[in-house]
Amino acid sequence: MNKQLRPAVIAGNWKMNKTPAETVALINEIKPLVANADCKVICAVPFTGLTAALEAAKGSNIAVGAENCHWAKSGAFTGEISADFLTALGVEYVIIGHSERRQYFGETDKTVHDRTRAALDSGLKVILCVGEQLEDRENGITTELVRLQTKIALKGVSADELKSVIIAYEPVWAIGTGKTATAEQANEVCKAIRNLIAELYGADSANGLTVQYGGSMNAKNADELVAQPDVDGGLIGGASLVAADFAVIVKAASK
């Protein structure tokens, strides 16, 4: 982290977990534990829990996010949720391009770009996910791949709009596997992302960008990860569903 230059952000990605009632209970449990955080705290919850989460988080330092949005304003897209629907609820953040969406729901770099565009147009802040598969890492193309994913997603995004973007580096092989990237591996790729942003937007934009690490980040390894200069927090899956663990991670980023 380098808090002089950019905010540290800890975001929970609840994935397909928690009913609205369970959402209220978990937010209420997290609230007092993170009340004194010296970093941004976000809970990204399923669409059906957004209203409940917003209500429960009201007046606290917890911001609420969605886990996806569609690229169109409205129309014949059965089962989809537009960015405008989210802003209308009062949602502040949206996760775009998570590897599970890429893996199971046909998400491509192009649709990640389109969703990012729609989210920014609607006034949402975006947590843009990028990351390599194990095979990519073994083939030595991690940096190139992550650069390409980032570049395509941000095509046409202005320097001013970039202020509403957080990039989350999530190596796919580390998600839900208990295999965390080493702090050095995480920092190396987060730094490569920042270097790309410097090339595309200049040093000020690069220095101001929050780049998170995600993938089996937990109460035990958070300290070491966020101590890295280019790791500005985390996108947390499993551990974000346990209030005490999430709070320890928030505490690590509050140092």
Active site residues: 98, 170
Place of tokens 């987060």: 190
CB of 29 to ligand 13P, least distance (A): 18
Distance of alpha carbon 90 from its chain centroid, rounded? 18
Which residue, among 70, 45, 73, has the nearest Cα to 57 in the 3D structure?
45
What x/- string results for residues 115 through 154 when contact with ligand 13P is judged by CB under 6 A? ----------------------------------------
Q: Does residue 215 touch ligand 13P according to CB under 6 A?
A: yes
Q: Of the candidates 84, 86, 6, 103, which has an alpha carbon nearest to the alpha carbon of residue 46?
A: 86
CA distance 160 to 214: 25
Closest CB to ligand 13P among 46 and 237? Answer: 237
Among 10, 147, 237, 245, binds ligand 13P (CB under 6 A): 237
Does 96 help bind ligand 13P (rule: CB under 6 A)?
no
Which is nearer to ligand 13P, 91 or 235 (by Cβ)? 235
8 Å CB contact between 69 and 115: yes
User: Is residue 252 part of the contact set for ligand 13P (CB under 6 A)?
Assistant: no
176 is a contact residue toward ligand 13P (CB under 6 A): yes
Site string for ligand 13P, 39-78 (x = CB under 6 A): ----------------------------------------
Among 1, 6, 8, 13, binds ligand 13P (CB under 6 A): 13
Indicate which single residue of 235, 243, 249, 253 sits in contact with ligand 13P (rule: CB under 6 A): 235
- Alpha carbon 155 to its chain centroid, in Å, reads 19
Tokens 């395509």 -> residue? 152
Q: How far is the CB of 205 from ligand 13P (least distance, A)?
A: 24
Does 217 contact ligand 13P by CB under 6 A? yes
Q: Angle at the Cα of 202 (from 196 to 205), degrees rounded to 5?
A: 85
Q: Alpha-carbon distance 127 to 131, whole Å?
A: 13
CB 224, CB 185: distance < 8 Å: no
Q: In terms of Cα–Cα distance, which of 205, 210, 198, 167 is closest to 6?
A: 210
CB of 172 to ligand 13P, least distance (A): 9
Cβ atoms of residues 150 and 117 within 8 Å: no
Q: Which residues contact ligand 13P by CB under 6 A? A: 13, 98, 170, 175-176, 214-217, 235-239
